Structure 1
Amino acid sequence: MDWYTIVFEVIEMRSFSNLWFWIVLAVAWSSISHWVLGVPFDMVSRARRNGGQAEQDLEDLVRINANRFLFIVEEAGLWITAIASALLSGLLVLGFYYGVEFAQAVFLLMSPLIFVGLLSIYSARKVKGGENSGEALWRRLRIHRMTTQFIGMVSIFLTAMWGMYHNLSSYVL
């Protein structure tokens, strides 16, 4: 037996039984829940704890990112929606109708990001509408982060359940 055969017998290169897929899933949701409207959440904690310049920096950065995000949505939102819908529809059909495991994995990784994107639009509109300083801003960012973490937990759970089902059913058959 050569080295490649041993490696490919020990480490399967399919999506749901591949360690790298699960690492990518964990890192993706970790970074998505850490960055709230383009602002690292530790900056929110530091601004709330220290106030002063840290608070002003947070308010400025959130205002800039919220305005930027809403500008992109207003200018290219229809195109982004059309392209994302086409890509996710293609992945859905390839993955679950034709049984392409890689398409299933990418679909399960990317589809929950639609909800995070919609949440970001909602939060950016709230920030632009007046929740842009002090306690109101901290509350909005905390709610955004907790909701994103909830979406991530549900996504990881469903992906894990589907991955286990897929792995078990492929070994049984």
Structure 2
Amino acid sequence: MDLFSLIVELIDLRSFSNLWYWIALAVLWSSASHWVLGVPYDMVGRAARIGGQTAQDLQDAVRIQVNRLLYISDVSGFLMTAFAFFVTTSLLMLGFIYGVEFAQAVVLMLLPMNIVALINLRAARILKAPHDDEALRRRLTRTRISIQLVGVVSIFVTGIWGMYQNLTIGVLG
């Protein structure tokens, strides 16, 4: 295999047969489940174990992120929603009507992340009111589990669609 073939294989836009796509998908979902409301989830476990200043740090970090998310949502939520629908609809049409595999791959990453954004926004609205340490940790844990469930379903659907694409291209192509 020469250098040109190696480079072409590394940047191949047939996403579902490309290792880099699957690595990016794994990193995406790992990051999404680790950063709940923009706060690293390891702070939750540390706050439960240690308490005291660590629990107060968690309260402060969540308060800052909740205020940030709600401000962004209130100020530009409509425009962000309209833009998200435009991009998602465009990619859906490119991918599933015109058959562009790269657009299909991006949709299968972007669409579930829109759901994750809604889960985080819902949790931020619930956490706007002050919570004690235990209630805060429970809410963050529930939010993380919801995000992980979306991730499991998303990875499953992406895997099935990717296998289908690879098999049909392998048979027909």
TM-score range, shorter chain: over 0.9
- Distance change >3 Å, CA 169–CA 8, structure 1 → 2: farther
The percent of aligned pairs where both chains have the same amino acid is 54
1:35-70 deviation line (CA, Å, top 9, x unaligned): 011111111100011000000000011011001101
Q: Which runs of 5+ in 1 are unaligned?
A: none
Q: How does 1:1-173 map to 2 (within 5 A)?
A: 2-5=2-5, 7=6, 13=12, 14-130=14-130, 132-173=131-172
Matched letter for residue 31 of structure 1: S
Decide which moves more: 91-100 or 112-121: 112-121
State how far apart, in whole Å, the 2-side matches of 1:38 and 1:101 are. 31
Matched letter for residue 169 of structure 1: T
Q: CA deviation at 1:2?
A: 4.3
- Distance change >3 Å, CA 136–CA 91, structure 1 → 2: same
State how far apart, in whole Å, the 2-side matches of 1:88 and 1:9 are. 28
State how far apart, in whole Å, the 2-side matches of 1:12 and 1:127 are. 43
TM-score (norm 1): 0.94
Q: CA deviation at 1:98?
A: 0.3
Structure 2 residue matching 1:128: 3-state secondary structure: coil
Matched letter for residue 38 of structure 1: G
State how far apart, in whole Å, the 2-side matches of 1:17 and 1:91 are. 19
State how far apart, in whole Å, the 1-side matches of 2:99 and 2:167 are. 15
Q: CA deviation at 1:134?
A: 1.1
Paired residues in the alignment total 171
Q: Which runs of 5+ in 2 are unaligned?
A: none
